[in-house]
Amino acid sequence: MSSLTGLILEHVKTKTPVQADGTCLIHPIPRPDYYILHDHVDLREKIGGGAFGDVHIGLLKHADGTVSEVAIKKLKGQMTKRERSGFMKVNFPGLVN
């Protein structure tokens, strides 16, 4: 296969197992466009920080090949799902959710 998408579609079409236990792909769920992959982010210098983590300047590579300079918040330590959810709802001037 020339791509991951092609491989997935082939497994769905042929019902070829993807696991030794016979698990087959029936209904693939595509990744939403708003998901940002680690491979698309280039973390640069630290510009600040706080109780929850550090803020870095970075580059974001878009699907169309363009690159944008962005601020990246990198969380410190472990947070529960509830803490992360609350943190993501916090709004600040200039923050894009």
74 is in an annotated binding site: yes
Give pLDDT, residue 72. 86
Tens of pLDDT, residue by residue over 38-50, are 999 999 999 888 7
pLDDT at 22: 92
**pLDDT tens string 48-85:** 887 777 888 999 998 899 999 998 888 887 888 888 77
Amino acid making up residue 86:
G
The pLDDT score that the predictor gives to residue 1 is: 55
Question: What Cα–Cα distance (Å) separates residue 81 from each residue in 12, 28, 74, 84, 89?
Answer: 32, 25, 16, 5, 13
Farthest-apart Cα atoms in the chain, separation: 51
Would you say 76 and 54 are in contact if contact means Cβ atoms under 8 Å apart?
A: yes
Question: What tokens were used for 47?
Answer: 């510009």
Domains of the chain: residue spans and CATH: 1-30 (no CATH), 36-91 (3.30.200.20)
